[in-house]
């Protein structure tokens, strides 16, 4: 039988099969689960109260998953989020992509449009999110290319537009791009996220 981990355990929130947000278990009261606001959630419109998602954490040979519904969110990154468990924890071997590593510059290239400067919000092995000041002349499922600076250097990623939304915290747009990463690119992305996490911990300790 799988049980929820101790309070303080690092956990993840998965809104879809291709990405996840880093968090931490804060409190459990029956079916109510409180977690820290995800570190990468600068685009709150992607996670709204009422939305179903999965809470998961690492085990020795698998991942434990709890189906949940997002009940409420706070107003800032230091707040707590309230979830309602919709079932018991179970073991799962399904692959999840961890996202992170935001902050760097990138360029978007859509058909019939000059390259657009943008800022990376986060990236995973299945997609990326970025902010750009200018409108993107591309619709959902249109082909798009991103030139991204990762830990090992700049790479060009081909993918499709998943969503274009008004940015919630500043003028401009948040663009969500999906792609299938070959192993070399996937490794570069993992190294980039890992390096960003180390830098984040060092800043927190300073």
Query: Does the domain spanning 10-92 belong to CATH 3.30.60.50?
Result: no
Tens of pLDDT along 87-140? 998 887 655 677 788 889 999 998 878 899 999 999 988 899 999 998 888 888
What pLDDT is stored for residue 186 in this prediction?
A: 87
pLDDT interval class at 29 (50, 70, 90)? very high
Query: Does the domain spanning 105-205 belong to CATH 3.30.1330.50?
Result: no
Distance CA 21, CA 71 (A): 17
Averaged over 7-22, what is the pLDDT? 78
- Boundaries of CATH 2.30.110.10 in the chain? 10-92
Tens of pLDDT along 125-173? 889 999 999 888 888 899 999 999 987 688 999 999 998 988 877 889 9
What pLDDT is stored for residue 64 in this prediction?
A: 86
For the residues of 170-205, what is the DSSP string, one character each?
SSSEEEEEE----HHHHHHHHHHHHHHHHHHHHHHH
Highest mean pLDDT among 33-42, 111-120, 194-203: 111-120
Highest mean pLDDT among 9-23, 88-102, 128-142, 184-198: 128-142
What is the percent of the chain with per-residue pLDDT over 70, rounded to a whole number? 85
Distance CA 86, CA 90 (A): 12
What pLDDT is stored for residue 61 in this prediction?
A: 61
User: Structure pTM?
Assistant: 0.59
- Boundaries of CATH 2.40.10.220 in the chain? 105-205
What is the percent of the chain with per-residue pLDDT over 90, rounded to a whole number? 35
């Amino acid at each position: 039988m799988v049980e929820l981990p101790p309070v303080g355990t690092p956990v993840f929130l998965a809104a879809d099969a291709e990405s996840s947000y880093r968090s931490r278990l804060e409190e459990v009261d029956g079916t109510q689960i409180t977690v820290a606001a995800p570190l990468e959630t600068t685009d709150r419109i992607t996670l709204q109260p009422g939305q179903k998602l999965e809470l998961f954490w690492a085990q020795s040979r698998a991942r434990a998953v709890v189906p949940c519904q997002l009940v409420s969110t706070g107003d800032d990154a230091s707040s707590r989020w309230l979830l309602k468990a919709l079932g018991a924890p179970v073991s799962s071997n399904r692959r999840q992509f961890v996202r992170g590593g935001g902050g760097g510059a990138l360029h978007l290239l859509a058909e019939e449009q000059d390259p657009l400067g943008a800022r990376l919000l986060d990236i995973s092995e299945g997609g990326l999110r970025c902010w750009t000041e200018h409108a993107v002349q591309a619709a959902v499922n249109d082909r798009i290319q991103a030139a991204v600076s990762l830990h090992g250097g700049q790479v060009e990623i081909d993918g499709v537009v998943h969503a274009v939304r008004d940015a919630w915290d500043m003028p401009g747009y948040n663009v969500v791009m999906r792609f299938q990463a070959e192993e070399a690119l996937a490794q570069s992305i993992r190294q980039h996220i890992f390096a960003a996490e180390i830098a984040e911990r060092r800043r927190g300790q300073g």
